[in-house]
Amino acid sequence: MCIRDSNQVGRALSQVLDPAAVLATLARAVIELFHCSLSVVYQPEAGDGSFRPVATAGTLLPRGQRWKMAADGELVRQVVEEQHPLLISDVEQEAGDLALPLPLGSLLLAPLLAGQQCLGVVMAGCAERGALVETDQVLLATLADQAAVALESARLFAGTQQAAVRLSLLNEIGRRAAAQLEFGEMLDTTAHDLHQNMGYARVAVFLLEHEPPRLVVAAANREFRALIPEGYFQEPGQGVVGIAAATGETIVVQDRRIDGRYVPVGEWDCLSSLSVPIKLGGTVIGVLHAEAQQSGAFHEEDAAALEMAADQLAVAIQNARPVSYTHLTLPTIYSVSISVVAVSLKKKNNIYKY
């Protein structure tokens, strides 16, 4: 392999706009340029940060056999920690105790670096001893740098596309909510659309009563509603929903096992949650709440999305309040509106009684 070949691969990588395709292209390029038996690209797991294979080329393992072995995992960790290529020109002589899953005579690994962050590791393996040498180490490092730039560009492009899709979905949810003039149906539509179209497993709308102060469940998607105890309410300042209402701030719980703010209730439990206050004129009138059974399920873009949905919902609530009470102040309007929701829910399924 020569620098010219590396540059050609770099240009090819820069034209790929899908992150997974970038990694697959890198794995194939290593096979072609280094004439290797095997190429593997590793990336970190979202949960624990351990690296796992995400793209392979060349000699493949038999179907059903796990590629990730202790030996190559150890080598990958070394490259990640040192952020420097690792060459084992003669595996038998230099690392004879490595229990590799395939009979490889030489190995070469290089990190994919974006600044100080390691995005992944690419490994080249040849069956012959001494097949990979120091000049190959320099060229693979160059290829890894090109792949890192291409991967960051592809991620940025994918993120921009996802943001555009998310914004379009949120605008449609807001439009549908605004078109509903019946208070209870508007809340049900919002919860259902956030669950169905945004992919949140559980979504509920809590609204704030004032006498006595408490948050009641005004709407939830069907699966979530089945878990919520009959007559459930949450006091402001208690639990994630109550804290969001009391502080007026978005509350994110990434793992409730280590975050005491989320309080399970019977069979109603989750690992992560996102609670966003619903405000009108700076006054909290409720909380838009989402949950997931996986830890770390919610990110900054999720918080931004639900905050936008909460703002849209606040406007829809104001527009959908009973017209005969438009002369009342906001807290009074809200007490009347929540009574309307409660009566509606009682008539529908007799599950919630306030």
Query: For residues 140 and 211, which has the higher predicted lDDT (pLDDT)?
Result: 140
289 — pLDDT class (breaks 50, 70, 90): very high
In a domain, 214, yes or no: yes
Give Cβ neighbours of residue 245 (< 8 Å, ≥ 6 apart): 206, 208, 215, 234, 236, 237, 277, 284, 286, 287
Domain final residue pick, 118, 142, 157: 157
Task: Judge if 20 and 146 occupy the same domain.
Answer: yes
- Calpha distance 110→119 (Å, rounded): 11
250 and 217: one domain? yes
Pinpoint the alpha helices (H) of the chain. Answer: 3-14, 19-34, 70-82, 91-94, 134-179, 183-198, 222-225, 239-247, 300-320, 330-349
What mean pLDDT is predicted for residues 109-121?
A: 89
Give me the mean pLDDT over the 187-212 stretch: 88
Whether residue 170 lies inside any domain: the answer is no
Residues 84 and 230: their CA atoms lie apart, in Å, by 59
Same structural domain, 212 and 338: yes
Is residue 44 domain-resident? yes
CATH of the domain at 313: 3.30.450.40
Residues 34 and 102 reside in one and the same domain:
yes
Residue-number span of the structural domain to which 103 is assigned: 3-157
| Backbone region of residue 215 per phi and psi (left: phi > 0; alpha: psi in -120 to 50; beta: other values) | beta
Note the pLDDT tens digit of each residue in 145-194: 888 888 888 777 666 656 666 667 667 766 766 666 578 888 888 898 88
Looking at every residue in the chain, the average pLDDT score rounds to 78
As for how many domains the chain has, the answer is 2
Residue 115 has pLDDT above 60, yes or no: yes
What residues contact residue 54 under an 8 Å CB cut-off, 6+ apart?
A: 20, 23, 41, 42, 43, 120
CA distance 37 to 91: 14
Higher pLDDT, 71 or 125: 125
pLDDT of residue 101: 59
Is there a domain that residue 173 lies in? no
Domain assignment of residue 336, yes or no: yes
Return the higher-pLDDT residue of 274 and 282: 274
Residues 130, 228 share a domain = no
For residue 163, being part of any structural domain is answered with no
User: Do 228 and 82 sit in the same domain of this protein?
Assistant: no
Instruction: Categorize the per-residue pLDDT at 261 as very low, low, confident or very high, splitting at 50, 70 and 90.
Output: confident
Sheet strand arrangement including 251-253: 233-234, 213-220, 202-210, 283-292, 272-280, 251-253
Question: Could you tell me what percent of the chain has a pLDDT over 90?
Answer: 23
Confidence band, pLDDT 50/70/90 cuts, at residue 18 = confident
